[in-house]
Amino acid sequence: MTMPTLDADESVEVDLGTAAALFRSLGDQTRLTILRHLALGEHKVVELTAHLGLAQSTVSAHLACLRDCGLVASRPEGRASLWSLAAPDELLAVLASAETLLAATGEAVDLCPTYGTAATGADR
Ligand SMILES: [Zn+2]
Task: Provide the CATH number for the domain around residue 67.
Answer: 1.10.10.10
Does residue 24 sit within a domain?
Answer: yes
In this predicted structure, what is the pLDDT of residue 46? 97
For the chain, the domain total comes to 1
Does residue 50 sit within a domain?
Answer: yes
In this predicted structure, what is the pLDDT of residue 121? 52
**Given a cut of 80, is residue 1 above it in pLDDT?**
no
- DSSP 8-state symbol, 105: T
**Given a cut of 80, is residue 100 above it in pLDDT?**
yes
Report CA(2)–ligand 1 centroid distance (Å). 42
Report CA(122)–ligand 1 centroid distance (Å). 28
d(CA 80, CA 90): 26
Report CA(1)–ligand 1 centroid distance (Å). 42
**Given a cut of 70, is residue 74 above it in pLDDT?**
yes
Contact 25, 66 (CB under 8 A): yes
**Given a cut of 70, is residue 82 above it in pLDDT?**
yes
**Given a cut of 50, is residue 122 above it in pLDDT?**
no
**Given a cut of 70, is residue 120 above it in pLDDT?**
no
Report CA(61)–ligand 1 centroid distance (Å). 18
- Pairing outcome for strands 80-85 and 72-77: antiparallel
